[in-house]
Amino acid sequence: DAGITQSPRHKVTETGTPVTLRCHQTENHRYMYWYRQDPGHGLRLIHYSYGVKDTDKGEVSDGYSVSRSKTEDFLLTLESATSSQTSVYFCAISELSADTQYFGPGTRLTVL
Amino acid sequence: SQQGEEDPQALSIQEGENATMNCSYKTSINNLQWYRQNSGRGLVHLILIRSNEREKHSGRLRVTLDTSKKSSSLLITASRAADTASYFCATDGRGNYQLIWGAGTKLIIKP
């Protein structure tokens, strides 16, 4: 299995609080992605990175920001969590653009 | 919006039978991929087929690609209980770094 970890694995927080999710890889892959998965919606891309300090928005980026200061770490921040951001969040990595992706175990976030 | 559309949305078969699921897409692609997701877990890559390939095999999996119809199928032969999962197709049709994901087919293998 690709070396991808996500932390925390579970989090419960309250509306209005900031939340940061971390994705860490040991594969030295260039591309990293944050997705959310909700029933009936499949996977939706939030943000992605194509290199250190190079990031771009996905289809559901409102309310989220990301940072990538080194190859191995990709952080997803919810500046002020809302109940609509309750979801399962997956990080993925890829060696090549739009090619095979390897997924982390996911973070289940509940915003009360 | 999702480019990949899997069909059927759900499929329930007996163990030992073959399972076929389909994926349609809208724009031209360089590759199409299939992934599996067991309940509560991350997605696992199964197979990638490039636009110049028509068929690809991996163990009990067979994937076909028809670029003229913009469709792909995933066949799982001699299904097992462990094949119970959701299956997703993804294409690179946006022309940037992203994949476009379908909503998935939920496969249940009955013992």
Q: What is the CATH number of the domain that holds A79?
A: 2.60.40.10
Q: What local confidence, expressed as pLDDT, does residue A1 receive?
A: 56
CA distance A16 to chain B (A): 27
Q: Transcribe B32-70 into DSSP letters.
A: EEEEEE-TTS-EEEEEEEETT-SEEEETTEEEEEETTTT
Q: Is the confidence at residue B54, as pLDDT, over 70?
A: yes
- Segments forming the whole domain that contains residue A42: 4-111
Instruction: Give tens-digit pLDDT for A22-76.
Output: 999 999 999 999 999 998 778 999 999 999 999 999 989 999 999 999 999 999 9
Residues of B with CB under 8 A from a CB of A: 2, 30-31, 33, 35, 40-45, 48, 88, 90, 92, 94, 96-99, 101-104
Q: Rounded mean pLDDT of B78-97?
A: 89
pLDDT at residue number B85: 96
Q: What is the pLDDT of residue B96?
A: 72
- CA–CA gap between residue B111 and residue B109 (Å, rounded): 6
Average pLDDT over residues B79-105: 88
Report the amino acid identity of residue A92: A
Chain B residues touching residue A58 (CB < 8 angstroms): 98
- What is the DSSP secondary structure assignment for residue B81, as one 8-state letter? G
pLDDT of residue A2 exceeding 80, the answer is: no
Which residues in chain B have Cβ-Cβ distances shorter than 8 Å to A102? 45
Give the Cα separation of B36 and B14 in Å (integer). Answer: 19
Distance from CA of A12 to the nearest CA of B (A): 17
Q: Residue B40's pLDDT band (boundaries 50, 70, 90)? A: confident
Looking at the structure of chain A, the number of domains it has is 1
CA A27/CA A72 separation, integer angstroms? 8
pLDDT reported for residue A22: 98
Task: Write down all domains in chain B, each with its CATH number in brackets.
Answer: 5-110 (2.60.40.10)
Q: Rounded distance, CA A34 to CA B22, Å? A: 26
At B94, the pLDDT band (50, 70, 90 cuts) reads low
- Indicate the Cα dihedral angle B58, B43, B87, B82, nearest 10°: 70
